Amino acid sequence: MFYLYQHVRLDTNQVFYIGISRYNKQYKYKRAAQKDKRNSIWKNIVSKTNFIYKILLESNDINIIKSKEIELIAYYGKIKYKTGCLANITDGGEGTFGYIPSKETRLKHSENMKGRKHSEETKLKMKNAQLGKIVPVEVGKKISKSKKGKSVVKLHENKPLKVLHIPTNMEFKSITKAAQYFNLRRCTLAINIHSGKEKDFKIV
């Protein structure tokens, strides 16, 4: 099931954001309540006042939800273009909620990704970007202190860990498969999942 929601700022009781997401039994309306992964205009507003969310519409038809989102964003207008009060950047109707690519599409995408490598120029830029970086002593101490007592995550165990992509409810046989499908770095994705930083994926 999908839902349409709005954010209301408590200092003026004014609507300032319209959004859509997917409901599931485990996370319910989690996206509507989230503060992370928001644009700078949204964050600027919330830095000045608290907010509440309201569920405006629920439906199993994502097209109905998207259509209403577009309608409401057009009605309220956007701060970015000085046409209204919303922090929204786009006109709405985006997203691939509920879309599950066919086996043929996934295979084609996999084939397209094979053999892709960074150019020598890109590798050199990445290397140079890291040169000369010095971690301050205090920062080093904090990092060391934060790691004490924590078990080291084994990211390359023989047994693959199944991964669930929460927004699409797609399950992958391993972190590697998920990273390949979404064109992400495998190591970065694994670290973020295990550290809890990655909110769109979880181990199942």
Amino acid letter at 35? K
Same domain, 66 and 166: no
Q: What is the band of 200 on the pLDDT scale with cuts at 50, 70, 90?
A: confident
- What type of residue is 26? Q
pLDDT at residue 109 is higher than 80: no
51, containing H or E segment: strand 51-59
Position 118 pLDDT exceeds 60: yes
Q: Is residue 144 part of a domain?
A: no
Same domain for 104 and 44: no
pLDDT band at 26 (very low <50, low <70, confident <90, very high): confident
In a domain, 139, yes or no: no
Domain range for 169 is 100-114+152-204
Residues 31 and 109 in one domain: no
**Residues 44/50/55/56 CA torsion (nearest 10 deg):** -60
The predicted model gives 1-12 an average pLDDT of: 94
Q: Residues of the chain with pLDDT > 70: what percent?
A: 73
Q: Which strands, in side-by-side order, build the sheet including 51-59?
A: 14-22, 2-9, 51-59
What is the pLDDT averaged over residues 1-24? 94
Residue 43 to residues 8, 16, 50, 78, 88, Cα–Cα distance (Å): 13, 11, 11, 15, 11
The answer to whether residues 17 and 105 belong to one domain is: no
Residues 36 and 70 grouped into a single domain: yes
Check residue 184 and give its pLDDT: 84
Q: Are residues 30 and 109 in the same domain?
A: no
Instruction: Encode 141-172 in three state secondary structure.
Output: HHHHHHHCCCCCCCCCCCCCCCEEECCCCEEE
Contact by Cβ (8 Å): 190, 155: yes
- pLDDT per residue over 122-154, tens digit each? 777 766 666 655 666 676 666 676 666 655 444
Q: Is residue 132 part of a domain?
A: no
pLDDT winner (highest mean) among 16-20, 128-132, 180-184: 16-20
Q: How many domains are contained in the chain? A: 2
Give yes or no for a contact between 16 and 51, defined as CB atoms under 8 angstroms apart. yes
Is residue 55 one of the residues assigned to a domain?
yes
How high is the mean pLDDT of the chain? 82
Q: Is-contact 168 97, C-beta < 8 A?
A: yes
| Whether residue 199 is found in the same domain as residue 104 | yes
Domain-embedded: residue 136: no
pLDDT digits (tens, 9 = 90+) for 188-199: 888 888 888 888
- Tell whether 12 is covered by a domain: yes
pLDDT in tens, 28-47: 899 999 999 899 999 999 99
Same domain, 107 and 24: no
**pLDDT score, position 153:** 47
How many CA atoms within 13 Å lie on the side-chain side of 106?
Answer: 13
Higher pLDDT, 194 or 56: 56
Q: Does any domain span residue 201?
A: yes
